[in-house]
A and B are shown apart, each in its own frame.
Chain A
Amino acid sequence: MVTALRPKSGPARSYQFPKFHSEVLSDGIRLLVAPVEKLPVVTVLVVVDAGSSNDPIGKEGVAMLTARALLEGTRRYDGAKLAEKFEQLGTSLDSGADWDSIFIKITVLSERLWAALGLLSEVVTTPVFPEREVERLKAERLAEILQIETEPRALADERFESFLYAEESRYSKPDGGSAESVSRLSRADVEQFYRSRFISGATTVILTGDVQPDEAHELVESAFGGFPTGSTPAQPLVVAPRSGARNVHIVSKSGAPQSELRVGHIGLPRSHPDYFPTKVMNAVLGGLFGSRINLNLREAHGYTYGASSYYDWRRGPGPFAVATAVESDVTALALREIFLEIDRIRHEEISADELSLATHYLEGVFPIRYETTSAVATALANMVIHDLPRDYYDSYRRNIRGVTVGSVLEAARTHIHPGELQTVVVGDAALIREPLAELGAGVVHIHDA
């Protein structure tokens, strides 16, 4: 039969994150080029410092709407024609906004790069935001908001953030805006947002794959010529907790067969110096299949299909959360285990075995993450958005290896605050209300879905 002898690792081959070329073009746009010689494809990613955090008060959702409306028409082509032109080249345009940036992205066969990049630059530099299309996109966002009302996972995420952050924080409201704020947006708001944020000093163009820096330089310099120069002021972000005490919020969904759970508090900004020990700490707590929370809730108790914890890394302090969905009648039991695990990671050092599982995993999967031109482009975009050092990806694995059981405990003690945990449960209130009140996890509040 199969040998009982476990094979040993062979000698590891070295890996290097793709080398990239970086320059600032004559009009102030930053260009990054990472040639990857493997397949005849190129990804082009345009990143603009214009994320949802920059939405003016009362105009929440304008960044997202602008990102979507970019594709709806340029001076030369209407939206339908643009889609047709891109897609005849075998590429399609994706655009979106996250908290920190607007991105516009294509992946195309390298022989069609010239044509596709020309079109892409039109989208970025000469959009016209037709009234009819802006109104349609608003209506589609309203449809999306309605969908979330019946989707327990998205609803739990959204409500969790609204209970975490103070009302006046942009983070307390959905990045795409609420029904109320989106309904109020106009074409003029989109135009205004675009004019104020889409300028060369806030824009980076990234090319990865089958392309060389000199070719990219020539292409981008000519295609993006005439882009308004200058830079945008940094927008101050208000971040304060909604409550200093523990609370349990039940978002009522009668008859729900499961409770969708989120437990956490405000986390850390991406730029925090404790990023690496915190990342490893989270991997041990709930970031891996073999993490404490997943093994406890799924494998020891069978309460769930999966349980995890995460930090949502943003420029400002995004949420730290444990997320899972459990059968309704074990809701309180599952929460008890989650609280126990959160306390435990703060009270004693993790074992050397747990540390090595997390660090070996994070080190090992590093090259696997960057197999595609699209993934390499996204990594470079993150470097720009978060102002990471140029050698960030070259030193990443060394930084992971530098984390110790001591620094993990220190990170847990400093950055996890059991007294501030907010619990959100989307589930059958009639069934879970009493057990949750007995749990002592804070005052129980009941809300409509």
Chain B
Amino acid sequence: MRIPIETFHLDNGLFVTLSEDHTAPIVAVNLWYHVGSANEREGRTGFAHLFEHMLFQGSAHVGSNEHFELIQRAGGTLNGSTWLERTNYFETIPSNELALALWLEADRMGELLPAMTQEKLDTQRDVVKNERRWSVDNQPYGTMLEKLQELVFPSWHPFHHSLIGSMEDLSAASLDDVAQFFATYYTPDNAVLSIAGDFDSSNARSLVENFFGPIPRGKGKPPLSAMTLPSVFGKQLRAVVPDDVSLARLFMAFRAPVFGSEEYYASSVCAALLGMRKGSRLYRSLVRERQVAAGVSAFTFGLAKGTDLLVVDVTARPETETSQLEEEVEREIDLLLSDGVTGEEVNRALALIETDLVASLQSAGERADGLSMFATYFGEPELINEQTERYRAVTTAKVNDFITERMVEENRASLLYVPKDRVEVEEILATAAGVS
């Protein structure tokens, strides 16, 4: 499967990718800024994400919340998201509204600051603090991402600190920080704009030139501190989190080759083979046969800098002791290391991944996001069309090489959630036993 791709640069450095598809009268606009929580300075954890919220608070010619109002009134969907390495903003709209979406994105890239006020910052700070309470503090296993980052990245590393940020740092963020962050990172030469769907390419090009052309190039951003890490942790890492959860859950992370490298694909296949769907190794063994787990999954983070992570995620059955959970997972990984994987397992993983890759291209928003991602990380949006081939090049031997190098004891980090209150669990188990 290949999608058509056109690319061009504006003089101010904005990288633009276009992919036409006239199946339905809709179009996706997608902007990636190459800035994420990794770029935050000390004492300002969570700022990249708080800043993302400020981008919906209006710009020189757009009122507060008007961005949302105009896109929804036009019959479109929209959102934004922040990750360690990037921040993205996206709209999918009826194709006759393409100019509106581009203009809105250009207005906030060009002239955000005139619309910024202390009051808006204070409100969004409260909104983000509530987002933290909702998705992290008041959610079982909600602290997983920040606890894992803390465990597996050294304290000096840009991926070490929390993405959503601490309450204290969120409180400290000021309008000056907003102005500085905007000037440093929200510049056309630090962004990729992708358009996918029903549009005419020459028309789209002239809209982009008109709206984004006048925005000046940035002055460059400070380099991230060194991110490269050895291929293994060097020793087993372990952290235990007693939490308000009913079931113990183990996240076991391994340093893995960065996203985009040839070795990455072996790591990604290994994750699918271990934890994707019910035919996967861990599901078969821990859920179906041994019945010690209620659920399993495995995934790679897809980090393009420093090191990636492969994570195995196993939730215990209520009657499984936490020590047993750890032993069972360790045993599975040891088995992998001693016996390797079979060609059938690799084929199963590859077949599932291929269907997902094709199915994901159905949505204009996903096509645009993929183009922006490959353009931002590697300068090559065409990589979106190469993914199937890259995966097909993964052989059983390559997966086994990955396992031999990376799944060794000195490359395992265990983050273990344990119920802080076992009483309730036991009561429910007793009720169930009493009636059966």
Contact = CB atoms under 8 A, between A and B. Distances in A.
Contacts of B75: 360-366, 368
Interface in B48-85: 60-61, 64-65, 68-69, 72-77
A166 interface: no
B interface SS class:
helix
B174 interface: no
Interface string B99-111: 1101100110111
B130 A289 contact: no
B261 interface: no
Interface stretch (A45-53, A85-93, A222-230, A342-350): A85-93
Interface in A159-207: 179-180, 182-184
B103 A9 contact: no
B72 A7 contact: no
B395 interface: no
Given A1-B110, A143-B294, A302-B123, A180 B431 contact: yes
A357 B359 CA distance: 32
A88 B103 contact: no
A3 interface: yes
B352 A90 contact: yes
A25 interface: no
A108 B431 contact: no
Contact of B100 (A1, A7, A92): A7
A1 B214 contact: yes
B347 A88 contact: yes
Nearest to B75: A364
Contacts of A84: 279, 348
A121 interface: no
B421 to A, nearest CB: 9
Contact of B138 (A258, A299, A363): A258
Contact of B364 (A88, A107, A140, A371): A371
A140 B294 contact: yes
B72 A90 contact: no
B138 A2 contact: no
Interface stretch (A34-42, A238-246, A314-322, A381-389): A34-42
Given A183-B436, A290-B69, A6 B61 contact: yes
Given A143-B294, A146-B247, 4 more contacts: A13-B96, A140-B295, A302-B122, A325-B134
Nearest to B64: A299
A38 B362 contact: yes
A108 B356 CA distance: 9
Interface in A358-417: 360-368, 370-374
Nearest to B74: A364
B245 interface: yes
B244 A83 contact: no
A361 B247 contact: no
5 contacts: A12-B25, A86-B279, A136-B291, A143-B246, A305-B134
Contact of B25 (A15, A80, A87, A289): A15
A231 interface: no
B262 interface: no
Contacts of A83: 277-279, 284
B94 A143 contact: no
B247 to A, nearest CB: 6
Contacts of B435: 180, 183-184
B431 A15 contact: no
A103 B170 CA distance: 45
Nearest to A108: B355
Given A2-B60, A41-B359, A325 B77 contact: no
Given A149-B246, A257-B133, A258-B134, A9 B96 contact: yes
Contact of B72 (A4, A258, A260, A361): A361
Interface in B86-101: 92-100
B21 to A, nearest CB: 8
A357 B364 CA distance: 23
B334 to A, nearest CB: 22
A111 B202 CA distance: 36
Contact of A6 (B76, B93, B103): B103
Nearest to A369: B77
Contacts of A286: none
Interface in B305-349: 315, 317-318, 344, 347-348
Nearest to A140: B294
A327 interface: yes
A1 B344 contact: no
Q: Which 3 pairs, one residue from A and one from B, show the smallest C-beta to C-beta distance?
A: A364-B75, A302-B126, A90-B351
A39 B111 contact: no
A236 interface: no
B40 interface: no
Interface in B254-296: 277-279, 284, 287-288, 291, 294-295
B69 A40 contact: no
Interface in A61-115: 71, 79-80, 83-84, 86-92, 107-109
Given A325-B134, A371-B24, A89 B351 contact: yes
Contact of A9 (B61, B74, B247): B74
Contact of A3 (B103, B278, B432): B103
B432 A368 contact: no
Given A298-B127, A371-B364, A184 B247 contact: no
Contacts of B415: none
A299 B246 contact: no
Contacts of A87: 277-279, 348, 351-352
Interface string A2-34: 111011111111110000000000000000000
A143 B317 contact: yes
A149 B134 CA distance: 16
Contacts of A374: 359
Given A142-B318, A295-B65, A325-B138, A356 B110 contact: no
A368 B23 CA distance: 11
Contacts of A92: 277-279, 352
Contacts of B277: 83, 87, 92
A303 interface: yes
B68 A290 contact: yes
B432 A183 contact: yes
A7 B122 CA distance: 31
Contact of B68 (A79, A149, A289): A289
Interface string B116-148: 000000111111111101110111100000000
Contacts of A301: 123
A332 interface: no
B31 interface: no
Given A87-B348, A88-B348, A10 B77 contact: no
Given A2-B106, A305-B134, A367 B425 contact: no
